[in-house]
Amino acid sequence: MAAYSETVMDHFEHPRNAGEMDAPDGEATVRNPVCGDRMQVMLRIADDRIAKMQWLTRGCPPAIATSSWTSEHVEGWTLAEAEALTREAIAEGIGGLPRDKVHCSVLAADALRKAIADYRARVS
């Protein structure tokens, strides 16, 4: 296995907020065109903030770790703050990624942004 940071391994071995959410307020599924891995994000939203993010990811250790890390960090954020979360910030948050795994941080950022867009479309 590639050399991953302690944070990647911690989130990979002990994923936070994984699993289905009943009747989410917004959701999205994205697929990484590079490798075919998939991530589904489900959001509970209250007062324009993320009350809860859950996810289902079929992918590599960094895909699992970035899903878990993101779900933990965006709780309580405004939608605008969450929309501004970049894949670079996620990759930095998990302690960096090997060069050939940088694309793995795309899933979490994209899925989160699309789930927020889904919520905005539902309430508009």
For residues 17 and 8, what is the distance between their CA atoms, to the nearest angstrom? 15
Instruction: Based on the shown chain and the rule CB under 6 A, indicate whether residue 59 belongs to the binding site for ligand FES.
Output: yes
Return left, alpha or beta for 47; rule: phi > 0 is left, psi -120 to 50 is alpha, else beta.
Answer: left
Instruction: Based on the shown chain and the rule CB under 6 A, indicate whether residue 97 belongs to the binding site for ligand FES.
Output: no
Query: What element of type H or E holds 86?
Result: none
Binding-residue total with ligand FES (CB under 6 A)? 10
Stretch of 9-17, 42-50, 59-67, 72-80 lying at the interface with ligand FES (CB under 6 A): 59-67
Helix 61-73 crosses helix 6-13 at what angle (to 10 degrees)? 90
- Min. distance of Cβ 34 from ligand FES in angstroms? 6
Tokens in use for 93? 């948050």
Instruction: Based on the shown chain and the rule CB under 6 A, indicate whether residue 107 belongs to the binding site for ligand FES.
Output: yes
Interaction site with ligand FES (CB under 6 A)? 32, 35, 37, 59-60, 62-63, 101, 104, 107
